[in-house]
Amino acid sequence: MKKILIVGGGLGGQSVAIALRKINIEAEIVEINTSFNVYGVGIIQQANALRALDTIGVGQEAIRRGSPYGQVKMCLPHGHQIGLAGPPPSEKYPSHNGISRKLLHDILFEEANKLGVIYRMGLTVATLDQKSDGVQVTFIDGSEGFYDIVVAADGINSKVRNMVFGESKPRYVGLSVWRYPFKRHEDLDTGYMYFGKKSKVGFIPMTADTMYMFVVTAEGEDNPIIPENELVSRLKSCLKEYPVKIAQDAMEQVTDAKLVNYRPLEALRLHAPWHKGRVVVLGDAAHATIPQLGSGAALAIEDAVVLAEEIQKGGDVSDIFDAYMKRRFDRCMMVVNASETLGEWELMEFQGKSLPEGANAGALMGRTIGALAAPI
């Protein structure tokens, strides 16, 4: 293969572009936004995400610019610790790395530019015409191109997925997340999660000086829109449930509605196989998971690594894509399914319902995160 089109310049799209340039394939990204405007909170990277980033040459830089931390302390609202979450640190990787989304995006963007990835901003595909030896693509500005394959990395609402496989819509799971960035709290020696009756709150390091908070709540089955002028007061009131100092200090510091990132949680599974002809789907476009295991971006980056490895091995396009599916499907579904189960249990708790017999969130998290340590 010589020339590949990647639709979407998010974490998955840029990762696959980097991986392809490293095996000397021309990689062109079309990104619908005219400029990248990545919101100012952080992302959790477990050891498997760092391993995948390392494979494309940016793992150490992510650790350098981020904030490595240990296992997450799981606590009751007043601070009593009830468990630990996340992989134990290994010789090579910390248990976690917290990093601002913008910094991670910048690291990928810088590496991609160094390797000669072509970015075409403010653009997307209009039509895809699959031929036996490639895909003829027209773009919305009327320009055209011919590519060996097209990679759909355009996120949960993927236009390319819907064009090629028919319309599929994300499913709202009944939970929402509120996020807010802060100066790092003096008590933050690792990641923390506090489990309340109506919500769950997490504090995650982003850099040596910064952290972000996430709050998971159930805002209603009808997925209500929260007006901007209510964001600050509603986020503050979620924190009342948590007497622990870090949460009380955060409550005082939540002041700017523009910094509140409120988002209903959605999931999507594209049925297998995630390819048709010469179009292949990766990341959230194929398997958007709710963030209960903090692993969606990790999966997108792993997809990118595996797809490029299978392309490098060579063979027919259908064999390459089958090999990609074989290595990715079960692993991604394991995370999507476990995350949704954790989300269902959280929702039941927030609604005051009793959990199904045998429900054990700590065990499910431990099992799934443990399994992610296996080679990809």
Which residues contribute to the site for ligand FAD (CB under 6 A)? 7-13, 30-33, 43-44, 49, 124, 153-155, 159, 177, 263, 283-285, 291, 294-298, 300
CB of 214 to ligand FAD, least distance (A): 7
- Identify which of residues 33 and 337 has a Cβ nearer to ligand FAD in the complex: 33
CA–CA dist 32, 226 (Å, integer): 26
- Identify which of residues 356 and 370 has a Cβ nearer to ligand FAD in the complex: 370
Beta partners for residue 323, in sequence order? none
CB of 319 to ligand FAD, least distance (A): 24
Query: Do 212 and 69 contact (CB within 8 A), yes or no?
Result: no
- Identify which of residues 137 and 186 has a Cβ nearer to ligand FAD in the complex: 137
CA–CA dist 290, 175 (Å, integer): 9
The DSSP output letter for 257 is G
- Identify which of residues 77 and 202 has a Cβ nearer to ligand FAD in the complex: 202
Which ranges of 156-198 does DSSP label H, i.e. alpha helix? 159-165
Q: Which two tokens stand for residue 156?
A: 């949960």
Q: Which two tokens stand for residue 66?
A: 């981020």
User: 3-state class of 285 per DSSP?
Assistant: helix
User: 3-state class of 225 per DSSP?
Assistant: coil
Torsion angles phi and psi, residue 323, rounded to 5: -65, -40
| Strand bridging mode 67-69 / 96-100 | antiparallel
CB of 43 to ligand FAD, least distance (A): 4
CB of 57 to ligand FAD, least distance (A): 18
Residue type, 72: V
CB of 160 to ligand FAD, least distance (A): 7
Beta partners for residue 97, in sequence order? 45, 68
CB of 12 to ligand FAD, least distance (A): 3
- Identify which of residues 150 and 297 has a Cβ nearer to ligand FAD in the complex: 297
CA–CA dist 10, 301 (Å, integer): 10
Which ranges of the chain does DSSP label H, i.e. alpha helix? 11-21, 47-55, 59-65, 101-114, 159-165, 228-239, 245-253, 284-287, 296-313, 317-350, 361-371
CB of 17 to ligand FAD, least distance (A): 11
Query: Do 265 and 343 contact (CB within 8 A), yes or no?
Result: yes
CB of 253 to ligand FAD, least distance (A): 20
- Identify which of residues 49 and 74 has a Cβ nearer to ligand FAD in the complex: 49
- Identify which of residues 167 and 243 has a Cβ nearer to ligand FAD in the complex: 167
The DSSP output letter for 292 is G
**Count of CA atoms in the C-beta half-sphere (13 A) of 55:** 22
Contacts for 232 with CB less than 8 Å, ≥ 6 apart: 254, 255, 256, 257, 260
Query: Do 244 and 78 contact (CB within 8 A), yes or no?
Result: yes
CB of 282 to ligand FAD, least distance (A): 7
- Identify which of residues 159 and 198 has a Cβ nearer to ligand FAD in the complex: 159
- Identify which of residues 77 and 294 has a Cβ nearer to ligand FAD in the complex: 294
- Identify which of residues 65 and 159 has a Cβ nearer to ligand FAD in the complex: 159
CB of 316 to ligand FAD, least distance (A): 26
